[in-house]
Amino acid sequence: MSARIQRNRPVARNMVFDLDGVLLDFERAWALCASWTLARELRPLCDAYHLVDRYQLSKRECDRVWDVFHADWWDRVPVYEGAWEVITSLESAGATVWAVTNVDAMHHESRALSLQGLIPQARILCLGARGTPSERVEVLRSLRARAFLDDQTPNTNAAAEDGSVPVGSCASRRLYGLGSGSRAPDLPKGIRLLLSRRRDEKAIPRCGFHYRRCPGYHAGMPSVAGRPPAYRNTRAIPM
């Protein structure tokens, strides 16, 4: 792990979130990287987990995209529109939010850059590309977490079977996370209670989170110094 978990900390309301597919729009970043690398526009053709199947790519094409992504894209995965409102509201209600991700520790700083301060780098835990559901359960136990939100069924199942923490799932929203979409994510009870409390105080809507976009880049802008077009993350501003 890239951050040390102190086991003898005072009991706190620790909430643990997965990153890609929950707080960060990995789908958008990877598709943009793939379109630039392969010199053609790519769109997901199905909801398959493996990207080679989702975009109907050859293994060689997929490997090319991953090489570019690992080299230069982990710091440019945008935050979902609704994530800012959810996390800042939880923090305001007294929760401490942690992030866990199956990414190698060498990308730890890039993960923090993508989050733009939404979660401090010291609270981002990198389990490595081969991180297992049982390792996530160990994190939840170590933090004495009050809630856990993930988009991968093996992870949520392992946490649910452990029974030590309320579990929520974004699995039905794999391409949306905490962004816009037709169905709200299945938030665990601890998160829903704190958000309900903040919603009463600040009139936070259930699904239509308030946000304003920062001026930034988009896919149509020219590249800079040989780099592909980039864009800045969406940053929520308290209303």
Tell me which amino acid residue 229 is. Answer: P
> Residue 42: which domain range?
26-76
Tokens linked to 130:
């081969």
Q: What is the pLDDT of residues 70-126, one digit of tens each?
A: 999 999 999 998 889 889 988 988 899 999 999 999 999 999 999 999 999 999 999
Q: Looking at the structure, do residues 131 and 19 belong to the same domain, yes or no?
A: yes
Q: Looking at the structure, do residues 59 and 112 belong to the same domain, yes or no?
A: no
Tell me which amino acid residue 68 is. Answer: V
Q: Is residue 220 part of a domain?
A: no
Q: Looking at the structure, do residues 32 and 149 belong to the same domain, yes or no?
A: no
Q: Is residue 196 part of a domain?
A: yes
Q: Looking at the structure, do residues 192 and 120 belong to the same domain, yes or no?
A: yes
Q: Is residue 127 part of a domain?
A: yes
Q: Looking at the structure, do residues 84 and 191 belong to the same domain, yes or no?
A: yes
**Looking at residue 85, what DSSP letter applies?**
H
Q: Looking at the structure, do residues 62 and 91 belong to the same domain, yes or no?
A: no
Name the pTM for this structure. Answer: 0.73
Q: Is residue 41 part of a domain?
A: yes
Pinpoint the alpha helices (H) of 11-145.
26-38, 51-54, 59-72, 83-92, 108-115, 133-143
Q: Looking at the structure, do residues 154 and 169 belong to the same domain, yes or no?
A: yes
Q: Assign residue 86 the CATH number of its domain.
A: 3.40.50.1000
Which pLDDT band, with edges at 50, 70 and 90, does 235 fall under?
A: very low
Asked whether the predicted pLDDT for residue 209 surpasses 70, the reply is no
Q: Looking at the structure, do residues 93 and 196 belong to the same domain, yes or no?
A: yes
Tokens linked to 214:
């920062």
Q: How many whole angstroms separate alpha carbon 145 and alpha carbon 56?
A: 38
Q: Looking at the structure, do residues 49 and 85 belong to the same domain, yes or no?
A: no
Q: Is residue 5 part of a domain?
A: no
Q: Looking at the structure, do residues 101 and 70 belong to the same domain, yes or no?
A: no
Q: Is residue 177 part of a domain?
A: yes
Q: Are 76 and 232 in contact (CB under 8 A)?
A: no
Query: For the chain, what is the domain count?
Result: 2
Tokens linked to 2:
């890239």
Q: Is residue 225 part of a domain?
A: no
Average pLDDT (126-150) is: 94
Which pLDDT band, with edges at 50, 70 and 90, does 63 fall under?
A: very high
Q: Looking at the structure, do residues 18 and 34 belong to the same domain, yes or no?
A: no
Average pLDDT (17-34) is: 94
